[in-house]
Amino acid sequence: MQLAWTQIDKKLDQTFYAVELAVTAVMVTNIFQYAWWRCRERQGELTHWQRWDAAYYLAASIPLNVAFPFAVVLIYIGEVNYPASKMWHSGSWFPNTVHGGLLYAGKWFGVGLLTVGVFKATRLHARILEKWRALRGKGAVSHSSDP
């Protein structure tokens, strides 16, 4: 089943643009709050960066993740400078203008920062490595040439 973009009701399209912005904004800010709490609870002699690294990654990811859906809402619902400010044209499903492409790329860079921040806040990478080593066992075959 294929739908042309012209077959989608404009009000339905606008509703989902607004829902995307709302869900994204709530999600990234709540993840940041959780990470801030986790960073605050870290114990021991840690540098500022060691204690707060996850919060910084996640704080940087918030505007990057929210900018694209916010621009979509401004342009396609609020019709700010519309149609000159359109981010995609000619029936494209992806942004194919300079500002649309930059916002879209920024969104995915923000997803990368979000992923790094979540891994650092939850120490998921360390837990996966610990589990991996436990599964491999202490008697794993060494590839070194030591006798």
Least-confidence region, from 38-47, 83-92, 116-125? 83-92
Query: What is the number of other CB atoms lying within 10 angstroms of the CB of residue 29?
Result: 14
Percent with pLDDT over 70 in the chain: 92
Q: Residue 144: which pLDDT band, with cuts at 50, 70 and 90?
A: low
pTM: 0.81
Residue 68 lies in a domain: yes
Residues 44 and 48: their CA atoms lie apart, in Å, by 11
Residue 27 lies in a domain: yes
- pLDDT value at 93 more than 70: yes
- pLDDT value at 50 more than 90: yes
- At residue 9, the pLDDT reads 85
Least-confidence region, from 33-37, 69-73, 77-81? 77-81
Residue 51 lies in a domain: yes
What range does the domain containing 38 cover? Answer: 8-129
Residue 140 lies in a domain: no
Query: How much is the CA Rg of the chain, to the nearest whole Å?
Result: 22
- pLDDT value at 147 more than 60: no
Residue 144 lies in a domain: no
User: How many domains does the structure of the chain reveal?
Assistant: 1
Residue 14 lies in a domain: yes
Q: Which is it for the CA torsion 93, 2, 22, 29, positive or negative?
A: negative
53-67 per-position pLDDT tens digit: 999 999 999 999 999
Residues 106 and 64: their CA atoms lie apart, in Å, by 6
Angle (CA) 93-78-17 rounded to 5° is 40
- At residue 145, the pLDDT reads 52
Residues 85 and 136: their CA atoms lie apart, in Å, by 55
Tokens 């202490």 sit at which residue?
138
User: For residue 65, which of 123, 118, 26 has the smallest C-alpha distance?
Assistant: 26
Least-confidence region, from 31-40, 100-109, 135-144? 135-144
Residue 143 lies in a domain: no
SS3 label, residue 106: helix
Residue 138 lies in a domain: no
